[in-house]
Amino acid sequence: MVGRNAARSRRAALTALGALVLTALPGAASAAPPPAPGPLPTATQTLGADRPSAQVLAALVRDLRLTPEQAADRLANEAEAGTRAGLLRNTLGERFGGAWVSGPGAEELTVATTDAADKAAIEAQGARAAVVRRNLGELSEVQRRLDAAAARTDTARTPVWYVDVKTNRVVVRAASQAAATDFAKAAGVPAGDLGVRVEQGRPRVLADLVGGDAYYIDGQARCSIGFSVTKDQQQGFATAGHCGKPGSTTVGADQKTAQGTFQASSFPGKDMAWVQTNADWTATPAVKGENNQKVEIAGSVEALVGASVCRSGSTTGWHCGTVQQHDTSVSYAEGTVDGLTETTVCAEPGDSGGPYVSGSQAQGTTSGGSGDCTSGGTTFYQPINATLGDFGLTLRTTSATAGAPATEEDTADDAWVAGRVYQAGVTVTRAGVTYRCLQNHQAQGAWSPESTPALWQRA
């Protein structure tokens, strides 16, 4: 575990990291050094990791068996690692093979590259280098071929497949080795290029057709509210797509109070939806933690593999675990869903649609899984940034303090705009300066590129 002094030293070192990465790695495009108007805010200050929620800390102490100090240090380490991984990803370009954190305090960042010549420079930035055979793009292409095959074959015996950056392989979870081999053949992927985990059972969506709380759909199913969102002047919340179809109506936890209507829903393929609520409901930047206490949401910066994550649900409440895989495909009985994130957090029927939070950052909404909160289990969530981007929604956050976002019609295509969802590696312009995105997120009004080095690097 990294001590508090070491963690503070690393936070301070982040202010100079961007300039170091630009010159340290071979083969990187040349660029003018960024200006130095004065000390830059650290990643933890910018994204709120220096002010962790008491609810998140308490749950990490309970579920990950940490002390309060260890939990606070872990959140700071995770936030800093995300920025360092983004800087190195941008510099490595096509050589980048993925990044993850490990250790009880997320104190070790590993960055994978396909070129051994990058190793010393990666290590110079405080990360462990892993030299791998395939870059992230090549792994993603293998998964896309499996996704395409899933649309024309029965995947009941191969229900989960994902890019595993730690092993530099696409992994298939199958009921047998033969089932995985058949799936690979249908996709035109050499069986030797896949990792196989043989295990029984199939994930299920977590809707519930019996009573409870949270919100109810068409007087039948029960799900959990995800994150508050807005669209123009409309208010509502994001949730799971399997909870309802466009036009389905919802009522509150008392099963009486009129609440809203599903405006858009996607399932299978994706598992996302949003509900527009009536004037009696107000969107807030909060989710429910332990004992009905509130956890405030500051943004939607995507957490690395290995990072801690906590979930709130109407059946089982507030539980924590870690991110295992991004970009996971899951074959439910109802159909295949792509682009999910796998976690070690438990969940049960009725928790569907509920929010996942890493620190103060929204991560996604509960889709499905296996196991329960008594014996433990695996749960998948739909990343919230995809929901926001697909449906044109704005996450309600504590960071949205800079007024209404600019409209896309009034700006150039490459201009930075609050409310847009940005992926790592894309470039934007702001006041005539070009910046490159370090971490997937929805832009908040207070997070302009020049003031947020945790998210943007001057190109």
Catalytic positions, please?
242, 271, 352
> Which residue is it, tokens 């996302």?
272
Paired tokens of 408: 């896309």
C-alpha 399/C-alpha 419 separation (Å) is 11
- The 10 Å CB-count burial string (b at 16+, else e) for 319-354 is bbbbbbbbbbbbbbeeebbbbbbbbbbbbbbbbbbb
Whether the Cβ atoms of residue 214 and residue 350 lie closer than 8 Å to each other: yes
C-alpha 385/C-alpha 382 separation (Å) is 9
CA distances from 210 to 68, 216, 255 (A): 37, 10, 12
C-alpha 447/C-alpha 219 separation (Å) is 41
- The 10 Å CB-count burial string (b at 16+, else e) for 140-153 is eebbeebbebbeeb
> Which residue is it, tokens 């009034």?
410
Q: What is the dihedral of CA 222, 332, 59, 107, to 10 degrees?
A: -160
Give the gyration radius of the chain's Cα atoms: 21
C-alpha 127/C-alpha 135 separation (Å) is 18
The residue length of the chain stands at 459
C-alpha 221/C-alpha 251 separation (Å) is 11
CA distances from 110 to 25, 101, 116, 131, 172 (A): 16, 6, 14, 10, 23
DSSP 302: P
Paired tokens of 416: 């930075």
Paired tokens of 407: 């409209």
**Which residues, in sequence order, are bridge partners of residue 138?**
none
